[in-house]
A and B are shown apart, each in its own frame.
Chain A
């Protein structure tokens, strides 16, 4: 079914947490493992604008629907960062613009060359490159939903679970947009399918890998995606990605977890605590 962009923009709101009893974290604080994961998620949400930059190097901005979506999506993701930062704040962790900026500055030359690389590729490949970005976006959003749901399951904290559920619900609308775009664009072009398959298989990595330290990526993946339940969740994401035209059989999340040495079996809770 086509994505209704007018309905999406009309109902796009900043995630709401004013009614949640965040103060309860003072009595029932999250442990260090969860706080580190939450910090990672916060940073990733705030850094969404870096992904926007890459997406904008393609001709996608000329499409009014894409442009409208990106406007709302960016703001929603920013507010996910704000919501998670509010939880961190109650644990004495303050996320400041300067810190986020410092993280982006640390990326150095590679980050500065990235848009040039993306643009050159976009120019060489043409509009099929948009399909790749859309499938990539879908993979990222599916992963994000999975991460939030896994965190809610593992934490068993009703306040955090509700906040993460609200965030995941907004991410689900992002998935709907990306998949509708990716599906249509992939179905229309064998070249787009081949390119997207190659790009995802070769270059996809868990969301945040390009901006966060490898130690943090391993921590989060071990926390949320290790063990039997974590691996099942990863397979589910892979199945969703593989359902897109031309991407049958892809298992990029499982491959990424294997590459990071994340255990595929056993009790996920026991592994990191």
Chain B
């Protein structure tokens, strides 16, 4: 058992750790989330029986790669101060697990065997060096990235759902329901961290402006990326989806309207 001194030191360390958090960043119940994680979707739906059209299969196959890019993303994220935050990492461990099974279902429905096999831009040395300078403010930027990724992917699910038959709609509802908890976590964390840390805002804005969205987009070849942009953000409905994503990002504390409108433009143009 720890000595009294050891216990005191441990408590003090915990208090210091808490002080580095933003006020009230504990609204989302991470413990409840980890306890109720959704595993394979094959347990609740007859995934293999769902039939889709060729265009649906194409978009769902792309979504399979994008949902499966968790380790490629964590490679860039965990080399920064984000890995220090045990609450965030507890979430990310479960988030990756749920996304793995979403990708599995998408792979089955689309008939795509494509899995993410590349690396995302940056790489550990650049990200770790950048993270070294950014310190704990980088966590806020990572939360915005998670939120924006979810918004873009949700726009894609919306695009698939528009013409989907009931069995596919049912699957999409399960997927979107599962992902809604991820979005809630990222939104809550991003809002609180950006509201209390101007440096987080600057880092988040830079990331929104410079990175490709969604997070796994660089893993797609140019033709697949272009097709994704056309399917999700093409035409008037697509433009509205891009605007909705940008509006949600603009609603985050400190994010400038100009950054959001640039985002809407790049989503629609597929830059």
Q: Are B16 and A56 in contact (CB under 8 A)?
A: no
Q: Which of B74-82, B200-208, B239-247 lies at the binding interface?
A: B74-82
* Assembled-state Cα–Cα distance A35/B89 (Å): 25
Q: Which of A100-108, A173-181, A192-200 lies at the binding interface?
A: A100-108
Q: Are B18 and A98 in contact (CB under 8 A)?
A: yes
The binding surface of chain A is classed by DSSP as helix
Q: Are B79 and A53 in contact (CB under 8 A)?
A: yes
Q: Are B119 and A62 in contact (CB under 8 A)?
A: yes
User: In the complex, how many angstroms separate the beta carbon of A128 from the nearest chain B beta carbon?
Assistant: 17
* B252 at the A interface (CB under 8 A): no
User: In the complex, how many angstroms separate the beta carbon of B218 from the nearest chain A beta carbon?
Assistant: 13
**Which residues of chain B are within 8 angstroms of A57 by Cβ–Cβ distance?**
75, 79, 124
**Which residues of chain A are within 8 angstroms of B92 by Cβ–Cβ distance?**
49
Within 8 A of B (CB), among A56-100: 56-57, 59, 61-64, 67-68, 70-72, 74-75, 78, 82, 96-100
Q: Are B128 and A119 in contact (CB under 8 A)?
A: yes
A-B contact count (CB 8 A): 136
Q: Are A98 and B14 in contact (CB under 8 A)?
A: yes
Q: Are B13 and A32 in contact (CB under 8 A)?
A: no
B74, B85, B117, B124: residue with the most chain A Cβ atoms closer than 10 Å: B124
**Which residues of chain B are within 8 angstroms of A106 by Cβ–Cβ distance?**
13
User: In the complex, how many angstroms separate the beta carbon of A234 from the nearest chain B beta carbon?
Assistant: 25
Residue of A nearest to B94 (CB): A75
* A9 at the B interface (CB under 8 A): yes
Residue of B nearest to A39 (CB): B2
Q: Are B75 and A56 in contact (CB under 8 A)?
A: yes
* B53 at the A interface (CB under 8 A): no
Q: Are A36 and B71 in contact (CB under 8 A)?
A: no
Tell which of A53, A112, A119 touches B123, judged by Cβ atoms closer than 8 Å: A119
Give the number of residues in A that approach B within 8 Å (Cβ atoms): 50
B37, B97, B132: residue with the most chain A Cβ atoms closer than 10 Å: B97
Which residues of A are in contact with B by a Cβ distance under 8 Å?
Answer: 9-10, 13-14, 32-33, 35-36, 39, 46, 49-50, 52-53, 56-57, 59, 61-64, 67-68, 70-72, 74-75, 78, 82, 96-106, 112-113, 115-116, 118-120, 122-123
Which residues of B are in contact with A by a Cβ distance under 8 Å?
Answer: 1-2, 10, 13-18, 20-21, 30, 34, 37, 39-40, 68, 70-72, 74-75, 78-79, 81, 83-87, 89-90, 92-94, 96-97, 100, 115-119, 123-125, 128-129, 131-132
Give 4 closest A-B pairs by Cβ, nearest first.
A32-B1, A102-B13, A100-B86, A53-B78
